[in-house]
Amino acid sequence: MSIEELAANINLSVNFLVSLLKKNWQNVRALYVKSTMGKPQRL
């Protein structure tokens, strides 16, 4: 998976999940991305 595909996938996923929250981005303090064996990366 290329970096562009990964970034687009993360963007769509985050926007969908945030849209499910009542106050949208006001309820989000931080976002982390983690691979299976990798360390978590804060966005």
Taking only the tens place, the pLDDT of each residue in 4-21 is 998 999 999 999 999 999
Reply yes or no on whether the pLDDT at 43 is more than 90.
no
What confidence score (pLDDT) does residue 20 get?
93
Q: Cα separation of 30 and 43, whole Å?
A: 7
Three-class SS state of 32: strand
What confidence score (pLDDT) does residue 15 get?
93
Beta-carbon contacts of 39 under 8 Å, excluding residues fewer than 6 positions away, are none
What confidence score (pLDDT) does residue 27 get?
87
Backbone φ and ψ of 10, nearest 5°: -65, -45
Beta-carbon contacts of 30 under 8 Å, excluding residues fewer than 6 positions away, are 42, 43
Average pLDDT over residues 27-40: 90
What confidence score (pLDDT) does residue 4 get?
94
Q: What is the largest CA-CA distance in the chain?
A: 33
